[in-house]
Amino acid sequence: AFSDTRYEGLVRQIQRRAGAAIHSIDGATAARSLTARALILHDPADRQVPFSHGEALAKAWGGATLHATPGLGHRRLLYDGQVVTRIAEHLTR
């Protein structure tokens, strides 16, 4: 897991690159210009970010694949062996 300091640094970097506050960034709009392959992981029952956001991002991002991670919530997917395997497979293709 990210430490609070690392998380805050990541947020600052994203905001600096986007030129906007992180909560005002529309990922789907930003993704329309992206073509690199991407793997989007999202729990359909995520209580922090609605699954519809992941769906919109995957639809807007031409090279993206959405992979549902039911039961893993917003952060537990980072520690799930099957998810780690899926990420490794994606990266080695």
- Kindly give the residue spans of alpha helices, DSSP state H, lying in the chain: 4-18, 27-31, 51-60, 81-92
CB 92 within 8 A of CB 81: no
The pLDDT score that the predictor gives to residue 1 is 61
Whole-angstrom distance, CA of residue 72 vs CA of residue 25: 25
Residue whose structure tokens are 């529309």: 26
Q: What is the pLDDT along the chain (93 residues), one digit of tens a residue?
A: 678 899 899 889 988 988 889 888 888 888 898 889 999 999 999 999 999 999 999 999 999 999 999 999 998 988 899 999 999 999 998
The pLDDT score that the predictor gives to residue 17 is 84
The pLDDT score that the predictor gives to residue 29 is 87
Which residues lie closer than 8 Å to 5 by C-beta, 6 or more apart? none
The pLDDT score that the predictor gives to residue 52 is 96
Whole-angstrom distance, CA of residue 67 vs CA of residue 8: 27
